[in-house]
Amino acid sequence: MVNDQAENLRMRIFHEKRETKTAQVIGIASGKGGVGKSVFCVNFSWALGELGKKVLIIDLDVGMGNIEQLMGQAAHFNIVDALQHQSSFQKVCVQVSSQVSFIAGGTGLGSLFRLNPEYLNQFIVQLQIARAQYDFILFDFGAGASEDLLHFLLAVDRMILVTTPEPPAIADSYSLMKLVYSIKQDLQIMAVVNQTLDRREGMKTWRRLSSTSARFLGASPSWLASLQKDDELSQSVRRQKPCMRSFPNASYSVQMRLLARSFLLQSGQKVFTAHERTFGEKVRKYLALIGRHQG
């Protein structure tokens, strides 16, 4: 009888753990500005939302964040406000749909963490709370790799690197990967080639970037997708609405849905286990590693 009760308790705990939601943290990054990274981030969140995933975007493009403009919804508070006033992320979060929400970026976020470590602790605590409420949390990083937030980029579960076929964009993407791989070679990086003429151009760009990275860095990004140029996408940016919402049948929207499905197939729903490092532990680990690396 006692053994049966103990077994039932173990099974109940096992199922409760399996049902506990722990969002994957995905870094959306680019080597340079102007490649459509934030536009990608907004529409990618919308595509995941269509597939039944709850998504939170946290705008970490320090000083240049534009997620609220691209979503067409003003944010009265941002991430810096939350930290300085010790507010919860929920209080500064803007809900765009039943599936998609965002937290606006704020100026001076990186320096805030340097000035007061308590802000970093607060960010980590609030992020862990948010991870129980969403399927995916997308960090929209600024172009390149800010030293202030590099440890955040290294701590994500996986990274989506957005580039274009232009040589400067490819060169800057390589520089970003070189920096990342020099510290964390096993970070899974997925490549999205944006603003292409066709899929062939996208594949050619990825192969060039991947082969060079594999040869000189010992690791390379996996292929996720290419997204072709689309006039309706440009119109949606001017309208300040995601293309997925304003032009659901546009070529870009159709491609984005396929991309989101491919992403889910490649990444799956990660099950967080007790022996894995938490996001906070990884941030602190990479903060220390960066210090040694730069020294």
In terms of phi and psi (left: phi > 0; alpha: psi -120 to 50; beta: otherwise), the region of 247 is beta
* Spatial distance between the Cα atoms of 45 and 49, rounded to a whole number of angstroms: 6
SS3 of 286, please? helix
SS percent in the chain: helix, strand, coil, step 5 = 55, 15, 30
Amino acid letter, 9: L
* Spatial distance between the Cα atoms of 11 and 38, rounded to a whole number of angstroms: 43
SS3 of 147, please? coil
| pLDDT recorded at residue 276 | 61
* Spatial distance between the Cα atoms of 50 and 41, rounded to a whole number of angstroms: 14
Query: What structural domains and CATH numbers belong to the chain?
Result: 25-294 (3.40.50.300)
* Spatial distance between the Cα atoms of 45 and 51, rounded to a whole number of angstroms: 10
Q: 184: how many CB neighbours lie within 10 A of its CB?
A: 18
| pLDDT recorded at residue 93 | 95
- Full pLDDT tens readout for the chain, 295 residues: 444 544 455 445 444 444 467 899 999 999 988 999 999 999 999 999 999 999 999 999 866 668 999 999 989 998 988 998 888 999 999 999 999 999 998 777 777 777 778 889 999 999 999 999 999 999 999 888 777 789 999 999 999 999 999 999 999 999 999 999 999 999 999 999 999 999 999 999 999 999 999 999 999 999 999 999 999 999 999 999 999 999 999 999 999 999 999 999 887 654 344 456 778 888 888 888 887 776 6
Tokens of residue 262, six digits: 């491919």
Beta-bridged to residue 59, according to DSSP, are 140
* Spatial distance between the Cα atoms of 116 and 258, rounded to a whole number of angstroms: 43
**Four-point Cα dihedral 226, 48, 92, 153, nearest 10:** -50
Q: Where are the beta strands (DSSP E) in the chain?
A: 24-30, 55-60, 94-95, 100-103, 136-141, 158-163, 189-196, 222-228
Q: 167: how many CB neighbours lie within 10 A of its CB?
A: 10
